């Protein structure tokens, strides 16, 4: 399968990666969550070429992660704002950054701290069950077939549902 066809897989992760699964795209999203909105600001911060940045912003806009909003009429200029769909990516960005802080930070520690505004303490992103409230790790999760499952994603020993 070619990368440009990855969104055709019956897999939510593959479909998501078709929109956000690129180094530059994740850095654009990081900057969006830091308040960057304008093309020139993205380009200056990231050092990415105009062509690559235009392409990533277009994909994020088409994927309804960002919306393009005019902030000036003469000349016409736009900024890029996170949509609800885009804001829902924050846990992904926070977990990825937290993983990098844990395993890839230098001896000085994390380059950026995420502070919870309500209590003033550093954020520790966790996966939590929405039903019982338990903190969940990978070992605590069972994967089952969903309604869109067509028998390609799970290893054979995992494809039968547990009753």
Helices within 72-153 (DSSP H only) = 84-87, 90-104
Question: Tell me, what's the pLDDT at 152?
Answer: 64
Question: Tell me, what's the pLDDT at 153?
Answer: 62
Residue 20's CB: how many other CB atoms inside 10 A? Answer: 19
Question: Tell me, what's the pLDDT at 162?
Answer: 45
What does the alpha-carbon distance between residue 13 and residue 21 come to, in Å, rounded to a whole number? 9
Q: Say what the pTM is.
A: 0.83
Nearest in space to 101 (alpha carbons), one of 117, 113, 86: 113
For residue range 76-135, list pLDDT tens digits in order: 999 999 999 999 999 999 999 999 999 999 999 999 999 999 999 999 999 999 999 999
Helices within the chain (DSSP H only) = 12-20, 23-33, 39-46, 50-62, 84-87, 90-104
Residue carrying structure tokens 């549902």: 161
For the domain made up of 6-89, the CATH class stated in words is mainly alpha
For residue range 14-23, list pLDDT tens digits in order: 888 888 999 9
For residue range 33-85, list pLDDT tens digits in order: 999 999 999 999 999 999 999 999 999 999 999 999 999 999 999 999 999 99
Find the length of the chain.
163
Plot region of 98 (φ>0 → left; ψ -120 to 50 → alpha; else → beta)? alpha
Domain boundaries, the chain: 6-89
């Amino acid at each position: 399968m070619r990368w440009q066809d990855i969104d055709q897989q019956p897999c939510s992760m593959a479909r998501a990666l078709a929109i956000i699964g690129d180094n530059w795209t994740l850095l654009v999203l990081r900057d969006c969550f830091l308040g960057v909105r304008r093309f020139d600001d993205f380009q200056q911060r990231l050092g990415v070429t105009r062509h690559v940045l235009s392409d990533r912003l277009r994909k994020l806009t088409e994927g309804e992660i960002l919306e393009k909003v005019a902030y000036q009429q003469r000349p016409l200029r736009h900024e890029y704002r996170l949509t609800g769909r885009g804001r829902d990516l924050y846990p992904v960005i926070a977990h990825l950054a937290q993983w990098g802080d844990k395993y890839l930070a230098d001896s000085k520690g994390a380059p950026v701290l995420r502070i919870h505004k309500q209590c003033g303490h550093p954020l520790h992103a966790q996966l939590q069950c929405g039903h019982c409230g338990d903190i969940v790790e990978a070992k605590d999760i069972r994967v089952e077939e969903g309604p869109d499952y067509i028998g390609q994603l799970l290893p054979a020993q995992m494809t039968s549902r547990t009753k």
